[in-house]
Amino acid sequence: CFLFHRGEGFNGLFLLAVASITLNFVKEAEIKRINKELANIRSKFKGDKALDGYSKKKYVCKLLFIFLLGHDIDFGHMEAVNLLSSNRYTEKQIGYLFISVLVNSNSELIRLINNAIKNDLASRNPTFMGLALHCIASVGSREMAEAFAGEIPKVLVAGDTMDSVKQSAALCLLRLYRTSPDLVPMGDWTSRVVHLLNDQHLGVVTAATSLITTLAQKNPEEFKTSVSLAVSRLSRIVTSASTDLQDYTYYFVPAPWLSVKLLRLLQCYPPPEDPAVRGRLTECLETILNKAQEPPKSKKVQHSNAKNAVLFEAISLIIHHDSEPNLLVRACNQLGQFLQHRETNLRYLALESMCTLASSEFSHEAVKTHIETVINALKTERDVSVRQRAVDLLYAMCDRSNAPQIVAEMLSYLETADYSIREEIVLKVAILAEKYAVDYTWYVDTILNLIRIAGDYVSEEVWYRVIQIVINRDDVQGYAAKTVFEALQAPACHENLVKVGGYILGEFGNLIAGDPRSSPLIQFNLLHSKFHLCSVPTRALLLSTYIKFVNLFPEVKPTIQDVLRSDSQLRNADVELQQRAVEYLRLSTVASTDILATVLEEMPPFPERESSILAKLKKKKGPSTVTDLEDTKRERSVDVNGGPEPAPASTSAMSTPSPSADLLGLGAAPPAPAGPPPSSSGGGGLLVDVFSDSASVVAPLAPGSEDNFARFVCKNNGVLFENQLLQIGLKSEFRQNLGRMFIFYGNKTSTQFLNFTPTLICSDELQPNILGFITKPVDPTVEGGAQVQQVVNIECVSDFTEAPVLNIQFRYGGTFQNVSVQLPITLNKFFQPTEMASQDFFQRWKQLSNPQQEVQNIFKAKHPMDTEVTKAKIIGFGSALLEEVDPNPANFVGAGIIHTKTTQIGCLLRLEPNLQAQMYRLTLRTSKEAVSQRLCELLSAQF
């Protein structure tokens, strides 16, 4: 048994509780013992004799332990609150501990608790203040934030506050800000809290850095002075010896946690503008890279873990700034050394970081030098997650110089790849083969090989895309027909190959019909031999191929008519096959040759658009993942079908923006209605050509602009517009109420674009709600085959419904071109996801129950109701997808906060699918009706 003495404090109490309860090894005996103990404690609390502080502490401690064993406690709360008024540390500690664990925010005692906390905060006793702050942070409720969010900053920046209390205050304020950001007021204290980065106590600096990093993500301007202080503090740490910071040195690494936090804080901002600060930061990063090359000072794993944590965070900062070629290349070389490290986690992190480095034009070539090592990792790694990162890196480093090698290696690996990643590899191979296909015969061979190796994982998007490309390119049609004909002769063909073969031979079988080995009858018999082994959709496609053969090859018409006339077709149980057989047979019988030729003429070329394979890959991987490198890669090419990779436009040629290059149209009048163009000398027109050509009115939106706009609601990167002359690609990122958009203009012709003038036009309603500025204007001359880039910084001031219009005007071969498209800047782009427990979600849901706060829409599904696609769209929309919150597992719920400069708007959504009726019910609840309505409109259009 355990001995307990009055002076042993909390440890003695705890041991006594353990001894008196858990010595019962049988569950029934334990319950009996607990019930007896609860009855005894209840009688003590209700007895006539007043309990002293020690007795209250002892019994409250027992109640706490019983609760932690999993038993309900429905009394003792008042006694715990009474302990808060004690002047003894151990009694106050037990009281606060009980409240932190057992009292919820709806308790009737919350007012008494708050009063006790206020008294302790005002006591200036550092021990009592620490207990109070810990309790506030542990509960972290909205009620706590309302009561103390204004007091804690004062404690944090007060000159007489002790270091230990400052640490607790900073972390407590961080907790409240994460749970209720709208209740933490910004004020004079923000400028003072930044100076805590210079505090002599490193514990205070560590806590303050965590707080400032979180606050700076939403209010970067308020805390921009922290950059120079963070660089100064980081410099002192990385240049210090391990003996200089003894209390904060971890296995010979000086203050690793603080170093990591400072590096993360610097990632909230662009590279410092002050040359001195920027030079000092560069020296810090170089020192960290140099230390990585030094022999380890200890063989223990803790030393290498701390050292590598700082190194990887420094590399993340180098990648974020993307402005120092030397540092980027050095970071790449350092990561390359980790690719063959014996530690699996290091190899994984190195591959993941190199994927991001491959997107920089400065380090892309350095990444490519490690291709053999990455290929070897793909073949020899035992961990599937590391192999998947190797696939991602091969995909990211691929360009025209190494595309055949990388595609071949991926195809080779695909034969033995884990089933969980096969579909993703198939999509990546298809994207790379299309993007970097110089010879489209190689592309056709690659896709057919892909179907042969992993046909079950080749989605419809892949073989649809093959058909589109073959139809659009005359030079590859004959080769494609010959190749699929030969592939179909294999005894066992995957059904996707039959689909491709049926479609291509139906369109271009005549191109190989002159060879006796591929005569029309042989083509037909070959396809028909696969007919009975295929599913209904494939049979339907083959029937369409047969009627195409009737037009292409009149000599096989009787044979095909016999097939269509058979009972297995005319009386087929499937309505679609029966209807096709009846209609095709009748068409072949009554229609003249001219009518047949007209009805069954060759498919026209497909309009060029963003690859649906790339869109599928983005949905599969989710937003902000490594697969988005297809859009971000070196900002060199958004050309879906390949073509030369243009070099980035010279920045020296873009030094002076023209008046009409104001992408945001700030201070400009809205476009005038169609009419005679104003005189160029008037100076009052919105669109004024920089080379003194007459100004033009803004063109109406291009056909398909609205569809393209809708596609960008749940994604940030891709091709916004494309015609025969011009391609417009976007890459954008949003954080809190700020955004940055990269617009890429690609000249698809071999002729210059002259007087190239993009203008972003904002309506009167929109202009005060979205503000921004251009950081890189566009050169008015775009060379043939070249691509130029423009960067727009965006700030959401308040909620809005309309989207700006991007108007592009230029001269091509003496002809004036005028194109307008909607730019996808929508309210949901300023969404920040918020994780919530089920109880919190439905509590908040009930609070937003006013009719003005809810918008509901019941609508028919326009796309297949796929669970994973739905999840990806909700996440891409910007909200957090809350799992296991809704009682109905088939429903989807999400939560987030719309951030604007003036306010924050909480948003809850609930999507209820009905598979039988192919319907959805979408419910949005926010504190502002217009926001609910706009978000509901945007999200409903995605399903």
Q: Give the residue extent of every domain in the chain.
A: 1-102, 233-297+307-321, 336-397, 398-600, 705-825, 828-941
List the alpha helices (DSSP H) in 361-402.
364-368, 371-380, 384-397
Distance, CA of 21 to CA of 413 (rounded, Å): 59
Binding residues: 44, 54, 58-62
Cα–Cα distances (Å) from 501 to 463, 528, 632, in that order, read 10, 12, 35
Res 659 pLDDT > 50: no
Kindly report, residue by residue over 810-836, the tens digit of the pLDDT. Answer: 888 777 888 888 888 888 888 888 888
Measured in residues, the chain has a length of: 943
Residues 6+ apart with CB under 8 A from 551: 596, 597, 600, 601
pLDDT of residue 16: 55
Res 644 pLDDT > 60: no
Closest CA to 630 of 872, 778, 433: 433
Kindly report, residue by residue over 377-397, the tens digit of the pLDDT. Answer: 888 888 889 999 999 999 999
Res 873 pLDDT > 80: yes
Res 454 pLDDT > 90: no
**What tokens were used for 903?**
């306010």
Q: How confident is the model at residue 12 (pLDDT cuts 50, 70, 90)?
A: low
User: How far, rounded to the nearest angstrom, does the alpha carbon of residue 173 sit from its chain's CA centroid?
Assistant: 28
Type of residue numbered 894: G
User: How far, rounded to the nearest angstrom, does the alpha carbon of residue 805 sit from its chain's CA centroid?
Assistant: 25
Cα–Cα distances (Å) from 67 to 14, 38, 61, 63, in that order, read 13, 11, 10, 6
Distance, CA of 837 to CA of 247 (rounded, Å): 38
Distance, CA of 54 to CA of 42 (rounded, Å): 16
Sheet containing 738-747: order of strands: 717-722, 726-735, 738-747, 787-796, 770-776
Q: Which residue has the tokens 């978000």?
A: 935
Cα–Cα distances (Å) from 497 to 466, 537, 547, 689, in that order, read 11, 13, 20, 53
pLDDT of residue 664: 29
Type of residue numbered 758: P
Q: How confident is the model at residue 608 (pLDDT cuts 50, 70, 90)?
A: low
Distance, CA of 346 to CA of 184 (rounded, Å): 39
546: left (phi over 0), alpha (psi -120 to 50) or beta: alpha
Kindly report, residue by residue over 222-235, the tens digit of the pLDDT. Answer: 898 999 999 999 99
State the burial class of residue 745 (Cβ atoms within 10 Å of its Cβ: 0-12, 13-18, 19+).
buried
For the domain made up of 398-600, the CATH class stated in words is mainly alpha
Which element (helix H / strand E) includes 194?
Answer: helix 189-194
Res 298 pLDDT > 60: yes
Res 11 pLDDT > 50: yes
Contact 648, 364 (CB under 8 A): no
Res 213 pLDDT > 50: yes
pLDDT of residue 264: 94
DSSP letter for 574, please: S
Lowest mean pLDDT among 119-123, 192-196, 460-464, 615-619: 615-619
DSSP letter for 653, please: G
Distance, CA of 197 to CA of 752 (rounded, Å): 53
Kindly report, residue by residue over 26-71, the tens digit of the pLDDT. Answer: 778 888 888 888 898 888 888 767 788 888 888 889 898 888 888 8
Contact 327, 286 (CB under 8 A): yes
Kindly report, residue by residue over 832-862, the tens digit of the pLDDT. Answer: 888 888 888 888 888 887 877 888 888 888 8
> pLDDT above 90 covers what percent of the chain?
28
Whole-model pTM: value is 0.60
Which element (helix H / strand E) includes 757?
Answer: strand 753-761
pLDDT of residue 647: 34
For the domain made up of 828-941, the CATH class stated in words is alpha beta
Residues 6+ apart with CB under 8 A from 786: 646, 647, 649, 746, 747
Cα–Cα distances (Å) from 880 to 566, 827, 835, 839, 856, in that order, read 56, 16, 6, 16, 19
Gap between the terminal Cα atoms of the chain:
66
Cα–Cα distances (Å) from 324 to 99, 309, 319, 330, 774, in that order, read 52, 21, 9, 10, 22
pLDDT of residue 776: 62
Res 265 pLDDT > 90: yes
Res 2 pLDDT > 70: no
Residues 6+ apart with CB under 8 A from 362: 322, 324, 325, 328, 329
State the burial class of residue 313 (Cβ atoms within 10 Å of its Cβ: 0-12, 13-18, 19+).
buried
Contact 804, 792 (CB under 8 A): no
Contact 256, 245 (CB under 8 A): no
Res 672 pLDDT > 50: no
> What does the pLDDT average to over 305-329?
91
Lowest mean pLDDT among 231-240, 491-500, 755-764: 755-764
User: How far, rounded to the nearest angstrom, does the alpha carbon of residue 395 sit from its chain's CA centroid?
Assistant: 18
**What tokens were used for 103?**
């009292």
Q: How confident is the model at residue 686 (pLDDT cuts 50, 70, 90)?
A: very low
pLDDT of residue 23: 54
433: left (phi over 0), alpha (psi -120 to 50) or beta: alpha
> pLDDT above 70 covers what percent of the chain?
85
Res 683 pLDDT > 50: no
Q: How confident is the model at residue 324 (pLDDT cuts 50, 70, 90)?
A: confident
pLDDT of residue 25: 56
Q: What Rg value do the Cα atoms of the chain yield, rounded?
A: 34
**Residue 306 or 8, more confident:** 306
pLDDT of residue 691: 31
pLDDT of residue 619: 64
Kindly report, residue by residue over 59-77, the tens digit of the pLDDT. Answer: 889 898 888 888 888 888 8
Closest CA to 499 of 544, 533, 538, 530: 538
Distance, CA of 633 to CA of 276 (rounded, Å): 31
Res 15 pLDDT > 60: no
Q: Which residue has the tokens 């020899």?
A: 380
**What tokens were used for 219?**
């209010």
Tell me whether domains 336-397 and 828-941 share a fold: no
> What does the pLDDT average to over 464-488?
90
Q: How confident is the model at residue 771 (pLDDT cuts 50, 70, 90)?
A: low
Strands of 801-872, DSSP E: 805-812, 815-822, 831-833, 854-860
**What tokens were used for 837?**
């427990």
Res 675 pLDDT > 80: no
**What tokens were used for 260?**
């990591």
pLDDT of residue 578: 92
Res 501 pLDDT > 90: yes
Distance, CA of 892 to CA of 889 (rounded, Å): 8
Contact 820, 726 (CB under 8 A): no
What angle is formed at CA 288 by the lines to CA 284 and CA 291, rounded to 5 degrees?
A: 135
Res 925 pLDDT > 80: yes
Contact 251, 298 (CB under 8 A): yes
Residues 6+ apart with CB under 8 A from 421: 384, 387, 388, 391
Domain 705-825 has CATH 2.40.10.10: no
**Residue 641 or 476, more confident:** 476
pLDDT of residue 850: 80
Res 258 pLDDT > 90: yes
**Residue 705 or 134, more confident:** 134
Distance, CA of 173 to CA of 113 (rounded, Å): 18
pLDDT of residue 45: 86
In a 3-state reduction of DSSP, which class is residue 15? helix
Res 723 pLDDT > 90: no
Res 674 pLDDT > 70: no
Distance, CA of 736 to CA of 544 (rounded, Å): 52
Res 660 pLDDT > 70: no
Domain 336-397 has CATH 1.25.10: yes
Q: How confident is the model at residue 654 (pLDDT cuts 50, 70, 90)?
A: very low
Q: How confident is the model at residue 627 (pLDDT cuts 50, 70, 90)?
A: very low
For the chain, give the mean pLDDT: 82
Q: Within a 10 A sphere around the Cβ of 353, how many other Cβ atoms?
A: 23
Contact 363, 379 (CB under 8 A): no
Res 257 pLDDT > 90: yes
Closest CA to 16 of 34, 1, 32: 1
